[in-house]
Amino acid sequence: MKILYFELRKEFIRKSFFFMMIILVIINFFWLEWDYHTNGGFTEDYVKVNASEKENKYYEELHQYLDGKLNAEKVSYVSEEYQRYHNLVSGDYSTEYDSSMHTGYAFGDYSLLTVHFYNPIKYLITYKELNDGLLEKAEENIRFFSDKNNKYEVEKNSFILEHYKNRNPLYFYETGGWKHLLSYDKSDLFILVLLIVGIIPTFSKEKKNAMEIIQITSAYGRKLYIPIKLIAHIFVAVWLELLFGIINYVVIHMQYGLSGTKMMLYSINEYRYTPLNISVIEFYLLEVLSKCIGFAIIAVILTMIARLIKNTYAAFIAMIGYTSVFLYFSGFNSGITFVENVLTLISPFSLLKLGELATSLKEIKFCGHFMTFHSFLYGVQATLIVILLCTMLVIEKRGK
């Protein structure tokens, strides 16, 4: 453990690194605040700081009554209120302030109830019917493609039957905060900056100070010189993701509340076709884990670049080039061509985009068989990292 501590102390436990980390944490906080304040309007994201006191009071009253498991009484109340306001604003109505209205205005009551309560609840109570139609179609496809001996389509539709059955999301909570948390990716950029800044001088500084020769000529140092650096870099990558993951959760929880942690992921409209049968909090933990793996792989590749290119400026250019190219490749996660799928699969940055990959069922055909894209992605990344580590080991042995 001492050697790991010394390695971390050389590269990351430095005032300059912590200063930059604190600055980026502060920027991340203000970015989250900016995102929060600029959301809202005619969307499902309710922003309290942009609303009036009366609007917030009406909003809270409705949530206090409707949050939790939906029943006939709650559904009937929302439907009747919606119809009443709909009839009111369909004809001639006053646009002046009206103290009898919850928000002070007739259309204000109508829009708040419709956007933030009626539409989301309607989605929840009609989900089962729409999902049952999807399952019936899958059963038809299985019979049809079985006759055609199409294994891929049979496996795909069998997967749909297995993973989309028994879905009936009848728990209502605000989803705006969860959507923002699951899609927020600005902190990924800050983590990447910190990794590059920390890893760039790893080898060039030691070569300049003649420390590399001292370490690799000792029996103990020769064996652990590269492995301990890789472990240190992976440790920092995972630690940074956990740090920003916790910060993002805490800040967004302060903004939105993030109630309903046990609410199923497909309760959010944008995730209606997700193949994952887990709660929103479980999905967030899975997303953080996926990013930890992604950043760990990225850290290994950046270490490899720093090892092969001893010049600090050249290594920096190479790292920026690698990041730009493979970040671009990860943008093909909705690609339909073979080349687009391959480019997405070989990019470790794709592991940072589970929030996008899990919105619907994304599949890939491998040797004539069906596989979910995200599960195949993990397999490809595991294979590639083993190949990279073996390549690095061979290069080290030949260089000695």
pLDDT in tens, 29-66: 999 999 888 864 445 578 787 888 999 999 999 999 99
63 three-class SS:
helix
Encode pLDDT of 181-205 as tens digits: 999 999 999 999 999 998 887 765 6
For residue 393, the surrounding DSSP H or E stretch is helix 373-399
Nearest one of 87, 108, 91, 89 to 99, comparing CA atoms: 108
Q: For helices 201-208 and 186-199, give the axis angle rounded to 10 degrees.
A: 20
- CB neighbourhood size of 392 (10 A): 18
Q: 92 to each of 100, 108, 114, 241, how far by Cα in Å?
A: 17, 15, 19, 54
DSSP for 334-379, please give it. T--SHHHHHHHHH-GGGGGGHHHHTTS--EEEETTEEEEHHHHHHH
* C-alpha–C-alpha distance, residues 381 and 360, integer Å: 21
* C-alpha–C-alpha distance, residues 182 and 187, integer Å: 12
pLDDT (tens, 9 = 90+) of the chain, 400 residues, equals 666 666 667 667 788 889 999 999 999 999 999 988 886 444 557 878 788 899 999 999 999 999 999 999 999 999 999 999 898 888 777 788 888 888 888 898 999 999 999 999 999 999 999 999 999 999 999 999 999 899 999 999 999 999 999 999 989 999 989 999 999 999 999 999 999 998 887 765 655 554 555 455 555 555 666 778 888 899 999 999 999 999 999 999 999 889 999 999 999 999 999 999 999 999 999 999 999 999 999 999 999 898 888 778 888 899 999 999 998 888 776 656 778 888 899 999 999 999 888 998 988 888 888 999 989 999 999 999 999 888 877 776 665 5
Residue whose pair of structure tokens reads 């073979």 in the numeric block: 338
Residue 94: per-residue pLDDT: 77
Q: How far is CA 149 from the centre of its chain?
A: 37
- The total number of residues shown for the chain amounts to 400
DSSP state, residue 270:
G
Largest CA distance in the chain: 88
* C-alpha–C-alpha distance, residues 165 and 159, integer Å: 10
* C-alpha–C-alpha distance, residues 74 and 68, integer Å: 10
* C-alpha–C-alpha distance, residues 332 and 208, integer Å: 41
Q: Which two tokens stand for residue 117?
A: 């309560």
Average pLDDT, the chain: 87
Global pTM value: 0.90
Strands (E), 41-191: 68-69, 171-172
Per-domain boundaries in the chain? 2-40+174-399, 48-172
Residue 42: per-residue pLDDT: 41
**Angle, CA of 75, 79 and 81, to the nearest 5°:** 120
